[in-house]
Structure 1
Amino acid sequence: MKTIVCNSPNQLLVTERKRPAVKEGEALVKIHRIGVCGTDIHAYHGRQPFFSYPRVLGHELSGEIAELNEENQDLSLGDKVAIIPYLECGECIACRKGKPNCCQNIQVLGVHTDGGMQEYISVPTSHLIKINQLSYDQAAIVECLSIGAHAVRRANIQRDEYVLVIGAGPIGLGIMQYAKLAGAKVIVMDMSMERLKFCQKWASPDYTVNAKENPEYDIAEITNGDYPTAVFDATGNINSMNNAYKYAAHGGSIIYVGLVQAELQFSDQEFHKRELTIYASRNATKEDFETVINSLEEGKIDIQPFITCNVSLESLPERFEELTAPETGNIKIMIELP
């Protein structure tokens, strides 16, 4: 089967591998769609934490069940499935407390272990969700949107609460959608006017702020001087993350969704003065996947404008840098397999 391997930073190779064996409790999934994520881009450029080479990338996955190695009342051959790519140990304190998304021994497909940029992958059936009512495109977007849904759930957003989302990339867009569905008044801030325009059309935030101008003043004006009670940083940019506290209301929260290879530093005086709460938001849970699937089934989110580029598996290596360059304006690149 065809497989794309990130052999080392800045090198993707198309190789041939044997179809994986299917162990007890697993299913063989024929991959049909793979979303390209910021994680994949950072890994390609050698900037991804928790990463080693060589690695098969890809964790935003959808496909159909080609083989089952157990009797399973919920799954059948030919079922369309979305894949939960976070393989937890089930035994550590996080798992015991119902937080498998931050398992101490987690193995994320495409990060700690080989992912889905291949024609077939074997996955525990416990990490498959049947989505026969959705398209393969929709199913491959579920993981990306689940990151945003999880972050919003972590923050316990309330109706009419002012929320700031810093970073209008795919993860930020998901946060906006689920903050809006929670009833929040959403402000989005980014340095790219093109991204802000896309946000206005796709996520319908209540306000947009240009980070290159005078964002503190603009956000104070919008909130009548109160500032947002929840600030989500989805940039993965250390400068942005270090300064996110400046936009938070007294008694508010900062939710770091982006990940960066650096140390966070900010003024303790300002942090204490505001009595801020800081949350890390990592991955998502099955509950978040189900939330997203339900919202897609109910037509609350249209993913077609979100997918701005389609590419075949075979042509990805030679086109990866071109398609992921910031100037393209691509939101989500979707790899298609027959």
Structure 2
Amino acid sequence: MKTLVCVSPGHFEYQSTTTPSIKPGFSLLAIKRIGICGTDLHAYQGNQPFFNYPRTLGHELSAEVVLTDNPDFKPGDAVTFIPYFYCGLCIACRSGKPNCCKHIRVSGVHIDGGMTEQLLVPSYALIKAEGLSYDELALVEPLAIGAHGIRRANVIKDEFVLIIGAGPIGLGAMEFARIAGAKVIAMDINDDRLTFCSKTLGVDYTINPRRENPLEKLELITNRGMPTVVIDATGNLNAINSGFTYLAHGGRYVLVGLQKENITFSHPEFHKREATLMSSRNATRADFMHVMDCMRKGLVSPATYITHRVDFDQVRDCFEDFLDPNNKVIKAMIHLK
């Protein structure tokens, strides 16, 4: 079978690989769609934490079951799966938090992922389509990341939620903050992305910190109260550090984006706010179910995210294009037969 391997930063190769052999507790899937996410782009550029080369990327996936020992599934079923494979034994797993398992192996990050024709995954990770299309199923995982961040922040109706970064993860967070009833503020340095937020997603307010003073704009929007929730979805060190200054007294700051360096902030300023700082890693089955339920109810329209499509055989030659802001990529979707 054909597999696309990132052999080193900036270098993809198509390789002929052996079809995985089925083994107990695992299911063999024929991959149908692969969403290209920020993790894939960062890995290609060589700045993704927790990463080694060579690696087969891809964890935003939909597929058809080929073989399975899961009695709830059968060959031919359309599925997605939770790509964070956990040990089930560590303190996080025992506490109901397999998304941050001490020994976690994320498909396409710690282990080889879905940029291939067939993939073997733990049978416990499968999720039924229940009417969703392959496109929709491949978008469940990135939307679940945003949904998990909103759940971590315990967003409530009518509070101001600032989401920094209007990439796919940030856009998902905006969607689920809106669904929770929040007043959503999008911050990004890309005006095209901000236009997408306001016109397509119905975001209440937008801020471009390169064109306007973000503190003054936030004070105006919130009647000087400032956002009670700030979510970083950039993974940019400067953006993360700046986010501390936007937080209301008593507020919550959630780091969804990830970068390699140390964050810094004023302890007195943070302390006097009695603020809460937390990270949000991956997502849980409950988040996946919430996203899929919202899709079925029409609260989220996955089709609005897909701006570019590419056949699997063409990915190596056009991947660089997805990094160019001039191409206005929101979500690129890879198709397999």
User: TM-score surpassing 0.5?
Assistant: yes
Quick check: 1:79–1:132 contact (8 Å CA) kept in 2?
no
2:219 is the alignment partner of 1:225? no
2:200 is the alignment partner of 1:192? no
Residue aligning to 1:279 = 278
Q: Deviations over 1:235-268 (max 9, x none)?
A: 1100000110111100101000000011101111
**C-alpha distance in 1 between matches for 2:284 and 2:61:** 15
1:19 partner amino acid? T
Residue aligning to 1:147 = 145
Tell me, what secondary structure is at the counterpart of 1:148? helix
Residue aligning to 1:255 = 254
2:19 partner amino acid? R
**C-alpha distance in 1 between matches for 2:320 and 2:250:** 43
Residue aligning to 1:44 = 44
Tell me which stretches of 4 or more aligned residues in structure 1 moved more than 6 Å: none
Tell me, what secondary structure is at the counterpart of 1:183? coil
2:335 is the alignment partner of 1:333? no
Residue aligning to 2:122 = 124
Residue aligning to 2:240 = 241
Residue aligning to 1:169 = 167
Residue aligning to 1:82 = 80
**C-alpha distance in 2 between matches for 1:326 and 1:8:** 23
Residue aligning to 2:6 = 6
Q: Shift of the alpha carbon at 1:166?
A: 0.6
Bigger mean CA offset, 297-306 vs 35-44: 297-306
Tell me, what secondary structure is at the counterpart of 1:309? strand
2:182 partner amino acid? A
Question: Gapped runs of 5+ residues in structure 1?
Answer: none
Q: Shift of the alpha carbon at 1:324?
A: 2.5
Matches within 5 A, 1:47-126: 47-68=47-68, 70=69, 72-126=70-124
Q: Shift of the alpha carbon at 1:202?
A: 2.5
**C-alpha distance in 1 between matches for 2:321 and 2:169:** 21
Q: Deviations over 1:297-317 (max 9, x none)?
A: 111111112000000111101
2:259 partner amino acid? V
**C-alpha distance in 1 between matches for 2:130 and 2:179:** 24
Residue aligning to 1:207 = 205
Tell me, what secondary structure is at the counterpart of 2:47? coil
Q: Give the structure-2-normalised TM-score.
A: 0.98
Q: Give the structure-1-normalised TM-score.
A: 0.98
Tell me, what secondary structure is at the counterpart of 1:265? coil
1:187 partner amino acid? I
Tell me, what secondary structure is at the counterpart of 1:27? strand
Tell me, what secondary structure is at the counterpart of 2:13? strand
Q: Deviations over 1:119-162 (max 9, x none)?
A: 00011111010104010000000000000000000011111111
**C-alpha distance in 2 between matches for 1:283 and 1:323:** 23
Question: Gapped runs of 5+ residues in structure 2?
Answer: none
Bigger mean CA offset, 220-229 vs 206-215: 206-215
Q: Shift of the alpha carbon at 1:61?
A: 0.3
Residue aligning to 2:289 = 290
* Alignment coverage as a number of residue pairs: 336
